[in-house]
Chains A and B, each alone.
Chain A
Amino acid sequence: SQQGEEDPQALSIQEGENATMNCSYKTSINNLQWYRQNSGRGLVHLILIRSNEREKHSGRLRVTLDTSKKSSSLLITASRAADTASYFCATTRGSTLGRLYFGRGTQLTVWP
């Protein structure tokens, strides 16, 4: 399977703390993306990192990619209660036209 697998499955932290979520995958990828989903809502794209990139930042988000270990991490710094959501990694491979392979996600809860 090429699907990403996130860990932990659930993460509970206090506001102001950093949240780190990990994702592993099994095959070569074109890029890896992180999405966020609030309960019962649609998926919102957070960040895309290409296979030739190692790190990317966007606001309070930092994503790393280690293609040798087939893994990625998403770091949310100075978390807020509004960051409470499920976070999914999704991979693409070069031969497919935008097909995303999603992991099971990490449920992040940030307590005020």
Chain B
Amino acid sequence: EPEVTQTPSHQVTQMGQEVILRCVPISNHLYFYWYRQILGQKVEFLVSFYNNEISEKSEIFDDQFSVERPDGSNFTLKIRSTKLEDSAMYFCASSSLTPGELFFGEGSRLTVL
């Protein structure tokens, strides 16, 4: 069964460092998303991406964040200068239509020290 894959599963970084989280969405999906979940809190929307551009972003997704689809398969989230409060589980998701079912990856746990 097709699935969304994310790497790395866990990354530890120092405050101020750049981090890139990678995702391979399901191959025939057209809509891509990043969500995050701070420990013990709600899952929060960061950004949606369609047709090679951002379609919507939340207030969390400030200038420190960027997304890219560098080729036909990868979808990346970059955090330019990490802060302690960026520590969270980051989930990539994709869907074939919208609004509809989202398929989530297993997540990348980011720990900022």
A residues at B contact (CB < 8 Å): 3, 30-31, 33, 35, 41-45, 48, 88, 90, 92, 94, 96-105
Distance in angstroms from A6 CB to nearest chain B CB is 10
* B65 sits at the interface (CB 8 A): no
Q: Which B residues fall within an 8 A CB radius of A?
A: 4, 31, 33, 35, 41-45, 48, 50, 55-56, 58, 91, 93, 95, 98-107
Most chain A beta carbons < 10 A, residue from B35, B43, B100, B103? B43
**Given known contacts A31-B99, A98-B98, A103-B42, is B105 in contact with A42 (CB within 8 Å)?**
yes
Q: Which residues of B contact A88 (CB under 8 A)?
A: 43
Q: Flag if A98 contacts B48 (CB, 8 Å).
A: yes
Which of chain A's residues have a CB closer than 8 A to the CB of B98? Answer: 97-98
Q: Give, as a whole number of angstroms, the nearest-CB distance from A85 to chain B.
A: 14
CB distance from A18 to the nearest CB of B (A): 25
